[in-house]
Amino acid sequence: MGVLKAEPARAQDWAAKSVGAAWRAFDWQMAIFAILLAGFGQAMAYSNTIAAGDGVFDAGSTFARGLIWTAFALIAFVISAAFDYKWLRTFAWPLYFANLGLLGLTLVIGDGVSGAARWIALGPFQFQFSELAKILMIIVLANYIASRQKSLDSIWTILGACALMVPAWLLVLLQPDLGTSLVLAAILAGMLFMSGASVRWLTILAVGIIAAVPIAWTYILRDYQKGRLLSFLYPESDPQGSGYQLLQSQIAVGSGGLFGKGLTNGTQNVGDFLPVQTTDFVFALLCEELGFLGAMLVLGLFIALIWRVLLTAWRSQDPFGLAIAAGIASMLLFQLVVNVGMVIGVMPITGIPLPFITHGGASLISIAVGLGILQSINIRQIRAEW
Amino acid sequence: MVAPAIVDERPTRERQLVRFLAFGIAVLIGVSGLTARLVYLQFVRGQVYQARAEQNRTVTEALPSTRGLIYDRKGRLLVANEPSYTIKIRPADLPFSKRDEVVARLSGLLGIDQADINMTIDANPGSRFDLVRVAQDVPIATANLIAEERLALPGVEVAVESKRHYTDGPLTSQIIGYTGAIDADTLKALKDQGYQPDDLIGQAGVESSYESTLRGVYGQETIERDAAGRKLQVLSTDREAQPGDSLVLTIDTKEQRLAEKAVTWAMNRANLKRGVMIVMNPQTGEILAMVSLPTYDNNKFAEGISRKDFQKLLRNPEKPLLNHAINEQFPPGSTYKLVTGLGVLADKKLGPTELVQTKAYIQIGADKFWDWNRAGFGRLNIRSGFAHSSDTFFYQMAQRLGIERLAYWAHQLGFGAKSGIDLPGEVPGIVPTNQWKQDTFGQPIFPGEVLQAGIGQGYDTVTPLQILNAYAALANGGRLYQPQVVREVVDADGTVVRPFAPKLIRKVKTSAENFKIMRLGAREVVTSRHTFNLVDVPVVIAGKTGTAEFGVRDSKGLLPFHNWFVAFVPKHKNVARPDSELAVIGFAYDSNTVGNVATEMVKYYLQMHFHVKGDYRLTYLLNKGNFYGGN
C-alpha cells in the first residue's frame, strides 16, 4: 500500500504520458461547444456572403475569409493546447512587453474607420491586435496573481494588477477602442474575484469607480459621446440618424419570430438595412434568420462553454491555471452580454464583438488560443493513475 | 490491495466554491436578461417589427402603361413608341458636396449645359427622393458610360423608357403636339390619377387634348428594395398596366403634305412670316389638313429639347409653338361679308335680287368710309355685291342690320366662340356688340364702327378655323359642325372604342335658300375674275377673298394687311347644291403683296389635290406692293 502523491505536473510528464491518457483528459465537450458556436458564425458568414451577392468561395468573400481564419484558429488551438501552459509563466513578461509593442505599433501604423487605428493589414487580411491583447493580458495577469497567492487579501495585489493593466488599457483606449478597454476591465475584475482577491477591497474599488461615473459624465465626455451612449434608450427619437442602427437592429431581431426567416432569407440582411451587419451586429441577423430558437441555441452554447471553462478553473491544480480560466470565462461572459445587449437595445453601442459569431480573424484566433491554453490546463492535471 | 489515498496538496485558498457559484449566477442572470429581452422583441413586439421589416423592404411602384399610338385617317402611323435611354437623378442620393462635380461630369458626357442640368434638378416637381429626368434619348454608348461610372456619379441612374417618335415631325407637329415632363402644379392636380413626379404628359396638340385617352392606366407593383432604395426584385404585380387607346386622326397625311407644300411655296415666294391652311370636309367637320407655319419639330421635344433651343422657339416673334389656325385671332376682312350678307337676307332687310347703289364712300358725320374701289360699282344685288366685295354695299347692309343683329348672325356662324375643336389653346375671337364695347371700352358702338364690323374690320377678330367653319356651313347648307381632328379612338387590340360621329353645333337659323344665294355669290367671286384666273382652273370652285388691314399706317398712309381666301368645291360642279366635301382656307399673315397670296396658295393646293394639268399660279401677284384699296 502506498500513497500516490498528486502534485503539479512537470514539463517532462507530457512526454512520459501516453497520448491516450492526454486525450482522455482533453475536454471534448468544451471543444464541441466551441466548434458549434464557430459553425453558427460560419453560417452567418455564408448568409452575409449570399446577401452581398458574392460567390460563396470567392476570394475575399466573408465566408471564404471565415474558412481561412477558422483553419488558422484550429492550428493556433492545437499549438496552444500542446504547449504546457505552465511554461507561459516563464514568458509572461516578454509577452507583456510584446503586447504593449503590438498595441503601440497599431497606434502608429494601424488603419481603421474614420481616423481610428484599430487593425494592421497583413497582406489581404486585417488583424486587430487588441483582440490578442486580451489573451496576452490574461496570461500576464494570471502570472501576477499566481505570484501573489500569499497576499490576496491586500489591496496592493489588486492595485498591482490594475497597474499592470493600465498601459495596455490606455493604448487600446487611444485607438480609440472603448469596447476592448471595457473588456479588459471586465477581465481584470473577473480574474481578481475568481482568484480570491479581497472582496472587501474589490467592492470598495467598484463603488469608487461607480461614484466616479457622474464626474466623468459631466466633465470628460462630450455631448456627442453622451448622445451616442444614450441613443440606445430612445432609438425612435432619431430613426434616420443616431437611432438608425439600433432601430434597424431591433427590427431585424423582432421580425425573426420563433423560427426566423431562414438562413439567407433575412430581408434586413439582404436589403442591407443594417450597417456593420457582418461584424458587431451579426447577432441581429442571426435572430432575424434563425429566430428565437437559433438565438437560444447560441446563448445555450455560450452557457455550456462558460460552464466548461469554469470547470477547467475548478479542476486546475494551480492558481495560474485557475486565473487564466477565470479570465477567459469573464471575457466570454462580458462580451456575450454586452454585444447581445447592444444588438437588442439594452446596452449602449460599443464596438464589442460576439466571440465566434462576429467575423474577424483576430477575435477567432484569440479565442482559439485561449481555449487551447484551457485544454492544456485540462490535459496537464495529474490524475490518479495506477 | 488497498486503493491508494489521494492526498490533494493543492492550496485550497484559490478555489472558493462560493465565488464559482457567484460567477455562475452572474452568467445565468446575464443570459436570462438577454432571453427576456429577446422574448419581448421577438414575441411581444414581433408583429410590429415584422410589419416594419416588411415596410422597410417593400415599396409600391408605378408600372407605366404603354402610351397609345396615333394614326392618320388612312392608317398611316404618325407616332411610334421607341425604347430610349434616359438619365435620371435622385437628388436625395446626390450629396450636396459632390453635386457640382457630378453635374460637371454629366454635362461633359451628355453635352448639356451644367446650368440646364442644375435647373432641371431644382425644378423637380417631386420630393428629393423622386427621380428627375435630366436627359432623354441618350445614345447607348453614353448610357453605358454613365452606368459604368455609377460609383463616381452618385444619385445618377440610367433608365430605359419609351420615347415618342413622330414619323413626320414638323409636318404634323401642330396637330399631334408632344409630351414633356410634368410640372409641379400639374403633378399636384393629377397626383390622384396616378401621375408620377418623373412622368411625361401631353403638352400640345392631341398629345395634350387626348392625354387621358393615350395614357392608359398605370399599373402597380410591389418591389423589394434595399436600404439604398435599389430595386432587388419584383415581389408582385398588384395591378397590370392598361395600355392607352390609340387615335385615328381625321388628318390625311397626303393632304397635309400638299397643304404644307402650298403654304411653303407662297411663304417663300412672297416672303411671308406666317401662313395657315386648313382643309375640311364641310359635311362632317373633319379636318383633313391643318398647316400653321412656321412650326417646330416635335421630335426635338421627344428627345428632350435643350433649354437653349426651347428659348429660341419661345422668343421667335412668329410664335412657331402656336397653331395660328386656332391659337391666334386676326381681323377677317371681306371673308366676314358672308355674315353680313347672310344676316341681311335672313332678317329680310334685303331682297334676294334687290339692287343697292354702291358708292365711292359712305359718309358718317365727318368721316368718309371708302369702297376699296374708289369708283364704286354702280347698282349691285347681293350676289354681285359679294362677288365684287363691294365695301359700300356691305356698309349699307351693316347699317340695315345694326350691330346686334350682325353679332347675332356672326354667332350663328360660329364667330366669337371657340369652335370646340379637339386641340388645346383655341381662342374665341371677338364679335363686337354694344355690350362688348361697353364692357371693354366703357362706350357704346359708334355708327362708323358698325360699318367696319360689317366688312370684317374694326373690332372683328377671328381664327382661320372659324372662317373655314362658317364657309363649311355655307357649303353644306347651314349646318355648323364642331371641327374634329380625331376621327376614332381604338384600343390596343384595334377595336374601335369611340367611332366617328359628326358633332353638330347648330343648324343656322335661316333658310336653305339664303345659303344657296350666298353660295352662288361665292361662285361669282370666282367667275367674275375677282380672283383672276382661278375660274380657269378646271375645277368648280366657290370662295371669298379677304384683305384685312391691321397695325400701323406706313409713310404713305397705308396699312399692312393679311390675305385670306376661303373656298369650297361642290361635289358635282354645282354650287347650288350643298354637297361640297372639300373646303379650304388660306391665310397669309402680313402679306403686303400686289395680289392675294392666299388665293394663289389655295389655288396651288386645289391644283395638286385635283391633279390638275397645267399650272395656273400667277406668281407676279406675290410680288411685294400694296394694292389696297383691296378686295
Instruction: Quickly state the pLDDT bin for A5 (edges 50, 70, 90).
Output: very low
The complex scores an ipTM of: 0.89
Higher per-residue confidence, B483 vs B307: B483
Nearest CA in chain A to B41: A254
CB contact under 8 A, B38 and A287: yes
A-chain residues near B32 (CB < 8 A): none
The pLDDT of residue B219: 87
Say yes or no: B128 contacts chain A, CB-CB below 8 A.
Answer: no
Predicted pLDDT of residue A1: 37
pLDDT, average across residues B166-173: 95
- pLDDT above 80: residue A240: no
- List the 331-350 stretch of A: residues with Cβ below 8 A of B: 333, 336-337, 340-341, 344-346
Mean pLDDT, residues B135-141 taken together: 88
pLDDT band at B559 (very low <50, low <70, confident <90, very high): confident
A233 touches chain B (CB under 8 A): no
Output the pLDDT for position B630: 43
Q: Does any domain span residue A1?
A: no
Q: What is the pTM of this model?
A: 0.67
B454 versus A48: the higher-pLDDT residue is B454
Average pLDDT over residues B515-539: 95
Asked whether residue A243 is domain-assigned, the answer is: yes
Chain A residues with CB under 8 Å of B48 CB are 254
Mean pLDDT value of segment A303-323: 92
Average pLDDT over chain B, rounded to whole? 90
Residue A267 covered by a domain: yes
Q: Which of A269-278, B138-147, B588-597 has the lowest mean pLDDT?
A: A269-278
The answer to whether the CB atoms of B56 and A346 lie below 8 A apart is no
Of A1, A267, A292, the CB nearest to B42: A292
A235 lies in some domain: yes
Contact between B625 and B594 under an 8 Å Cβ cutoff? The reply is yes
CB proximity A312 to B under 8 Å: no
User: Between residues 38 and 57 of chain B, which touch chain A (CB distance below 8 Å)?
Assistant: 38-39, 41-43, 45-46, 48-50, 52-54, 56-57
Contacts of B235 in chain A (CB under 8 A): none
Q: Is the predicted pLDDT of residue B466 greater than 50, yes or no?
A: yes
Report d(CA B215, CA B165) in Å as an integer. Answer: 16
**What is the predicted pLDDT for the residue at A275?**
66
Residue A4 is predicted with a pLDDT of: 46
CA nearest A240 in B: which residue? B227
Give the domain extent around A82.
17-379
pLDDT of A9 above 80: no
Q: Which residue has the higher pLDDT, B621 or A6?
A: B621
How far is the alpha carbon of B158 from chain A, nearest alpha carbon, in Å? 21
Q: Which of A1-5, A30-34, B109-113 has the lowest mean pLDDT?
A: A1-5
Question: What's the half-sphere exposure (Cβ side, CA atoms, 13 Å) at A53?
Answer: 4
Q: Answer yes or no: do B37 and A346 touch at CB < 8 A.
A: yes
| Interchain pair A344, B34: CB under 8 A | yes
Half-sphere exposure of residue B283: CA atoms within 13 angstroms, side-chain side: 10
Is residue A324 in some structural domain? yes
Are A112 and A130 contacting, i.e. CB atoms less than 8 angstroms apart?
A: no
- Model confidence at B631, in pLDDT bands (50, 70, 90)? very low
What is the three-state SS of B475-487? HHCCEEECCECEE
How far CA B458 is from CA of B84, B330, B509, B548, B551, in Å, comes to: 52, 11, 26, 10, 11
Q: How confident is the model at residue A124 (pLDDT cuts 50, 70, 90)?
A: low
B95-109, B124-138, B282-296, B379-393: segment of lowest average pLDDT = B124-138
Tens-place pLDDT, residues A341-386: 988 888 887 778 999 998 888 889 999 999 999 999 988 875 433 3
Q: Is the pLDDT of residue A219 over 60?
A: yes
Q: What is the Cα–Cα distance from B263 to B270, expressed in whole angstroms?
A: 10
Residue B576 has pLDDT above 80, yes or no: yes
**Where do the H-state alpha helices sit in B347-463?**
382-388, 391-412, 434-441, 447-454
Q: Stretch A300-306: mean pLDDT, rounded? A: 96
- Listed by number, the residues of chain B in 236-265 with a beta carbon closer than 8 Å to a beta carbon of chain A are none
**Is A278 a residue whose pLDDT tops 70?**
no
A244 touches chain B (CB under 8 A): no
Residues of B in contact with A319 (CB under 8 A): 11, 14
Cell 361697353 found at: B438
Q: pLDDT confidence of B363, banded at 50, 70, 90?
A: very high
Q: Which three cell numbers stand for residue B76?
A: 398611316
Tell me if B389 sits within 8 A of B358, measured CB to CB.
no
Give residue A370's pLDDT: 94
Considering only CB atoms, B34 lies closest to which of A195, A258, A341, namely A341
The answer to whether residues A329 and A148 touch, using CB atoms and an 8 Å cutoff, is no
Confidence (pLDDT) at B126: 74
Q: What is the pLDDT of residue B148?
A: 84
Domains and CATH numbers, chain B: 86-160 (3.30.70)
Q: Give pLDDT, residue A2.
A: 40
Instruction: Identify the pLDDT of residue B437.
Output: 95
**Is A40 among the domain residues?**
yes
CB contact (8 A) between residue A196 and residue B49? no
CB B547 within 8 A of CB B333: yes
Among A144, A267, A302, the residue to mutate for chain B (most B Cβ within 10 A): A267
Band the pLDDT of B278: cuts 50, 70, 90: very high
Lowest mean pLDDT among A189-198, A286-295, B43-52, B54-63: B54-63
Considering the domain boundaries, does residue A11 fall inside one? no
| Tens of pLDDT, residues A330-339 | 999 999 999 9
Q: How high is the pLDDT of residue A223?
A: 74
The more confidently predicted of residues B363 and A279 is B363
Tell me which chain A residues have a C-beta less than 8 angstroms from the C-beta of B24.
307, 310
Count: domains in chain A = 1
A12 assigned to some structural domain: no
Do A272 and B14 lie within an 8 Å CB cutoff?
no
A26 pLDDT exceeds 70? yes
Chains A, B: CB contacts within 8 A come to 159
- Interior CA angle at B574 toward B570 and B580, to 5°? 20
